[in-house]
Amino acid sequence: MRIIDLIVHQRSVPLSIPFTSAKRGVVREAAIVYVELKLEGGTSSWGEVSIPTCSGETVEGIRAAINGPLRTAVHGQEVMDLELLLDRIKLSLIGNPSAKSAVDIAVHDAHARVLSVPLYRTFGGSAREFETTVTVGGGFAAQMAQRATELVRDGCTSLKIKVGQTIGADVDRVLAVREAVGPSIQLYLDANQGWTAKTAVAAIHRLEDAGAAPALLEQPLPSWDLAGMRFVRERVETPIVADESVGTPQDALNIIRQEAADVLTLKLQKHGGLRPALRIATLAEAAGLSCMISCMFESQVSISAAASLASARGVIRYIDLDAPLWLAASPVRGGVQYSGTTLRLSDQPGLGVEGLKALAESQV
């Protein structure tokens, strides 16, 4: 079955509450670009990319990349020639990982639909349900503690706390959240490259001494500072997670060689799609590391793809796929569904996505 057309759709989706982080400031809506691949016989498959991206790509640049070289790469190609198709996507242009990811996901969706199996089955997966971490955005300590309390009351068992500002304020935020939610809730800290090596060590030691050690510390230092990441890793008990530091499989290999992290974060938009993410997970597994699978402000299309990968790879121990819970309304029919903080994959072919809702309907 061949790809006969590629159509780009765009949606602006408000967030249910504003999201604040040290790196991005305040985000109030997600601009989502969808890729629809039209297949012979009238079937459609889907991919997506959400702005802001990890790579700095813009909506205009993403649309140009998809409508230009990426369209050329897939148009008229046989869906069952999966590896050839993915090679063509990779080689179609330099960089642009988020744009590539949208088309990569749509191609994987198409391949699974032709096989009439859910995407997670094509990876050899069996698990369909996952409990996700939910992020508490930055703010004053009391505000973050209140938000954390609300999430735990609704059934959340692990929280990601945004830090990366001054050490005193960050420690106060974490201590306030820990006091509010109690000792049984796992806390992951995400500094978004905001600390230095010495301040990261000092902050974690203060939290460890106070009995509030986090379960993970994500990207405490600038992405390029692998020596600093190793410095922190060697001086704290808390496992160190590389996020912005790992964009490509080559980045992952460099982190492994320098012993700069315990966990590698997978984001489909960051890597360029499912295939490069799978390769990074394989490297992590071979090196004895773990992976966290995470996301931007994506809807059920990309989240279904990410969860399908997690279903099949035990090395992906940490699930951070809460993005649809931040959207005021879903623009998508079908795909992964949520019950509180539990997400469940569809058993329909491919991603299980039936299509986009009408604009008026998606805003309800």
- Whether the Cβ atoms of residue 305 and residue 268 lie closer than 8 Å to each other: yes
- Is 270 known to be catalytic? no
**Beta carbons of 225 and 197 less than 8 angstroms apart:** yes
Question: Are the C-beta atoms of residues 267 and 292 closer than 8 Å to each other?
Answer: no
**Nearest residue to 291 via CA among 299, 276, 304:** 276
- Write out the two tokens for 24: 């991005």
Strands (DSSP E) found in 92-169: 129-131, 134-136, 158-162
Which of 100, 160, 162, 270 does the annotation list as catalytic? 162
Neighbours of 168 (CB within 10 A): 10
CA–CA dist 17, 137 (Å, integer) = 10
The structure tokens 């590629």 sit at 6
| 3-class secondary structure, 224 | coil
In three-state secondary structure terms, 65 is helix
Q: Give, in degrees to the nearest 5, the angle at Cα 313 between 309 and 318.
A: 85
Order the strands of the 25-39 sheet from edge to edge.
Answer: 3-21, 25-39, 44-51
The C-alpha atoms of residue 266 and residue 255 are separated, in whole angstroms, by 14
Cβ proximity of 134 and 181 under 8 Å: no
Asked if residues 208 and 237 have their Cβ atoms less than 8 Å apart, the reply is yes
Q: In angstroms, rounded to a whole number, what is the distance separating the alpha carbons of residues 261 and 243?
A: 10
Which of these is catalytic: 38, 90, 160, 267? 267
Active site residue 38: no
3-state secondary structure at position 216: strand
Q: Residue 32: beta bridge partners?
A: 11, 50
With 0-12 CB in 10 A as exposed, 13-18 as middle and 19+ as buried, what is 339? exposed
The secondary element (H helix, E strand) that includes residue 338 is strand 337-339
- Catalytic sites, residue numbers: 162, 267
